Amino acid sequence: MPTLRIALSQVNPTVGDLAGNAHLVRTWTRRAADAGAQLVAFPEMMLTGYPVEDLVFRRSFVAASKAMLSRLAADLAADGLGELPVVVGYLDADGPPQVSGDAEPGRGARNAAALLHRGAVVATYFKHHLPNYGVFDEDRYFVPGDMLTVVRIGGVDVALTICEDLWQAGGPFAGARQAGVGLVVNINGSPYELNKDDIRLPLVRRRAAEAGAAIAYVNMIGGQDELVFEGDSMIVSADGELLTRAPQFVEYLLVHDLELPAAGESAGAGERVADGLRVVRATVTGSLPAPAGPPAVGGTIEPVADEAEVWQALVLGLRDYVNKNRFPSVVLGLSGGIDSAVVGALAVDALGPERVVAVSLPSQHSSEHSREDAAELAKRTGLDYRVEPIQPMVDTFLANMSLSGVTVENLQARVRGVILMALSNQEGHLVLTTGNKSELAVGYSTLYGDSVGGFNPVKDVWKTLIWRLAKWRNADAVRRGETPPIPESSIGKPPSAELSPGQLDSDTLPDYDVLDPILIGYVDGDLGRDGLVEAGHDPAVVDKVLRMVDTAEYKRRQSAPGTKISMKAFGRDRRLPVTNRWREHG
CA–CA gap between residue 252 and residue 17 (Å, rounded): 20
Cite the DSSP H helix spans in 382-436.
391-400, 406-427
φ, ψ of residue 203 in degrees (nearest 5): -65, -45
| Active-site residue, 127 included | yes
Burial class (CB in 10 A: 0-12, 13-18, 19+), 297: exposed
Marked catalytic residue, from 163, 226, 309, 324? 163
Marked catalytic residue, from 66, 127, 437, 555? 127
| Active-site residue, 482 included | no
CA–CA gap between residue 275 and residue 170 (Å, rounded): 7
**Beta carbons of 314 and 306 less than 8 angstroms apart:** no
**Beta carbons of 566 and 313 less than 8 angstroms apart:** no
Q: Which amino acid is at 70?
A: S
SS3 332: strand
**Beta carbons of 92 and 110 less than 8 angstroms apart:** yes
| Active-site residue, 196 included | no
φ, ψ of residue 215 in degrees (nearest 5): -125, 130
HSE at residue 462, side-chain half, CA atoms within 13 A, is: 21
Beta bridge pairs of residue 278: 147, 272
For the chain, counts of helices (H) and of strands (E): 18, 19
Sheet holding 156-162, edge to edge: 242-245, 234-236, 214-219, 183-188, 156-162, 147-153, 278-283
CA–CA gap between residue 388 and residue 303 (Å, rounded): 43
Q: List CB contacts of 360: < 8 A, sequence separation 6 or more.
A: 333, 334, 335, 336, 371, 374, 375, 385, 386, 387, 388
Burial class (CB in 10 A: 0-12, 13-18, 19+), 140: middle
CA distances from 74 to 26, 83, 187 (A): 11, 12, 22
Marked catalytic residue, from 44, 138, 193, 307? 44
Burial class (CB in 10 A: 0-12, 13-18, 19+), 280: middle
Burial class (CB in 10 A: 0-12, 13-18, 19+), 426: exposed
Before 51, cis peptide (omega within 30)? yes
Q: List CB contacts of 575: < 8 A, sequence separation 6 or more.
A: none
Q: Which amino acid is at 492?
A: G
CA–CA gap between residue 14 and residue 50 (Å, rounded): 8
CA distances from 302 to 2, 145, 245, 248, 353 (A): 29, 35, 8, 10, 30
Report which of 369, 352, 351 is spatially closest to residue 360, judged by C-alpha positions: 369
Please work out, in degrees rounded to the nearest 5, the angle formed at the alpha carbon of residue 287 by the alpha carbons of 283 and 288: 115
Q: How do beta strands 278-283 and 147-153 pair?
A: parallel
**Catalytic positions:** 44, 127, 163
